[in-house]
Amino acid sequence: MTLVLTRSDLEAVLAPGACLEVLRDGFLRARDATVAGQRVRTDLPFPGTATALIPGVLPGIEAYTVKVNAKFPGARPALRGVICLHSGRDGELLALLDSATVTAWRTGLAAALGTHALAGPGDVLGVVGAGAQAELMVRGLAQLRPYRELVVHDTDAERAEAFAARHAGRAVASATEVAAAADTVLLATWARSPLLGLSDTRESQHFTSLGADEPGKQELSADLLRAALLVVDDRELAASMGVLAAAELPASAADATLADVLRGDHPGRASAESRSVYAPVGLPWQDLALSWAAYRAAEREGLG
pLDDT at residue 55 in the model: 98
For residue 77, cis peptide bond before it (omega within 30 degrees of 0): yes
Rounded to 5°, the CA angle 80-83-87 comes to 175
CB 125 within 8 Å of CB 183: yes
Give every CB contact of residue 205 below 8 A, 6+ residues apart in sequence: 120, 122, 179, 182, 183, 184, 185, 275, 276
pLDDT of 215 reads 87
CATH of domain 3-103+284-301: 3.30.1780.10
Predicted pLDDT at 77 = 87
Give the pLDDT means over successive 10-residue stretches in the chain (304 positions).
Answer: 97 97 97 94 95 97 98 91 98 98 97 97 96 96 96 97 97 98 97 97 97 92 97 96 94 97 95 95 97 98 97
**Residue 22, SS3?**
helix
**Which class would CATH give 110-278?**
alpha beta
Domain ranges of the chain: 3-103+284-301, 110-278
CB 157 within 8 A of CB 182: no
List the Cα angle 109/228/259 in 5-degree steps.
Answer: 40
Q: Is 251 exposed, middle or buried (0-12, 13-18, 19+ CB in 10 A)?
A: middle
